[in-house]
Amino acid sequence: MTGVLPNQQIESLIANGAISADQPIPEGQVQPASLDLRLGQVAYRVRASFLAGEGRSVADRLTEFEMHRIELGNGAVLEKGCVYLVPLMERLDLPADLSAAANAKSSTGRLDLLTRTITDGGTEFDRIQPGYSGPLYAEICPRSFSVLVRPGMRLNQIRFRRGQSVLSDAELTDLHARTRLVDGPAVIQDGLGFSVDLRLPGTTLVGYRAKPHTGVIDLDQIGAYDPRKYWEEVHSDHGHIILDPGAFYILVSREAVHIPPQYAAEMAPYLAMVGEFRVHYAGFFDPGFGHAAAGGEGSRGVLEVRCHEAPFVLEHGQVVGRLVYEHMNEAPTQLYGAGIASNYQGQGLKLSKHFKTPA
């Protein structure tokens, strides 16, 4: 049977040693369709981002690119604009029919904290080949804010899949006809289209832009920071905004998304030709996200947007990304937002959990 593995099958992988760790995996680390990954004890400051490459280990490549190492035990600051490599506590010994993909967690992306997983012999970021046996590493590059990290923090997550599980456009159209996937018309082309909302009801506030010179963010501090010290409000009276090159924005999708319990989804790019900007697409959407079965009535997708080389006019309703839906191998025994800590169920325009709710 093909599909993304649910929480109970991930727990079986842990029990049989296909997933192991330096320290026991605590309750809550297994999510409905993924496993959170934990930072280890040390970070390596490296000269540049790299992949191990076929037949080579990450440890070997570190001898080429390491500048210095930082012990994380008492907390350490990872500085904006620098690249770090952190060995993760978890390692894999996957069966030959099981592959995996990793992504940054939602709060990680909303801080513009570029976090990608690399492996021994890896030729792609965030993609783990079937049957991989070996350690996992997180490459971390803070883009907008310097951050304070400690061992055990969870910045990225991993999803396991058996075989081909992506729904075709015909399957996605049929699924939307049977159970609503978005509120309103569904734009289906290589996935479910995601557009930007620049006409939020009752307000001209449509997003936030990261300030260029701010203090450090301690990733353990929840609801602790005044957003005005880190973000500028972005307003629009006329349904469009101009993106500045190099700036980082938090915006929100026009669509309220529903992920039924038998499915998972992943954010992917739309078309490079639509403009010189990039919407962060490292997001996993768990079974139950925005779905009535988990107490949801649709949840907007938060868009993490960075403009490239030239200023760009972003229009209300412009399609900027797509959701690729996948079959679950079987229905999970826990759903996003139902009995587990889920910070973004029912969300609209929302900063990461580290910030106080704007007044």
Whether residue 175 sits in one domain with residue 90? no
Closest CA to 115 of 81, 155, 148: 155
Tell me whether residue 283 is in a domain: yes
CA atoms within 13 A on the CB side of 161: 22
Whether residue 86 sits in one domain with residue 141? yes
Tell me whether residue 320 is in a domain: yes
Tell me whether residue 113 is in a domain: yes
Of 145, 162, 179, the domain-final residue: 162
In angstroms, rounded to a whole number, what is the distance separating the alpha carbons of residues 320 and 310? 17
The residue whose two tokens read 């604009």 is 81
Whether residue 285 sits in one domain with residue 195? yes
Q: 212 Cβ partners below 8 Å, 6+ apart?
A: none
Whether residue 134 sits in one domain with residue 75? yes
Whether residue 89 sits in one domain with residue 7? yes
Whether residue 81 sits in one domain with residue 104? yes
In angstroms, rounded to a whole number, what is the distance separating the alpha carbons of residues 301 and 218? 25
Q: Measured between alpha carbons, how far apart are the two ends of the chain, in Å?
A: 49
Of 95, 128, 162, the domain-final residue: 162
Of 105, 133, 162, the domain-final residue: 162
Q: How many CB atoms lie within 10 A of CB 190?
A: 14
Check the CA dihedral 160-49-108-312 and report its sign. negative
Question: Based on the number of CB atoms within 10 Å of its own CB, is 246 exposed (0-12), middle (13-18) or buried (19 or more)?
Answer: exposed
Tell me whether residue 353 is in a domain: no
Whether residue 146 sits in one domain with residue 16? yes
Whether residue 205 sits in one domain with residue 87? no
Residue 288: the pLDDT is: 87
- The pTM score is 0.92
Residue 211's identity, in one-letter code, is: K
Tell me whether residue 50 is in a domain: yes
Tell me whether residue 190 is in a domain: yes
- Burial readout 211-242 (b: 16 or more C-beta within 10 A, e: otherwise): beeeeebbbeeeeebebeebbeebebeeebbe
Segments of the chain scoring below 50 in pLDDT: 273, 294-295, 340-346
The residue whose two tokens read 């990872």 is 78
Residue 346: the pLDDT is: 47
- In total, how many domains does the chain have? 2
* Residue range(s) defining the domain that contains residue 119: 3-162
CATH of the domain at 233: 2.70.40.10
Tell me whether residue 350 is in a domain: no
Tell me whether residue 126 is in a domain: yes
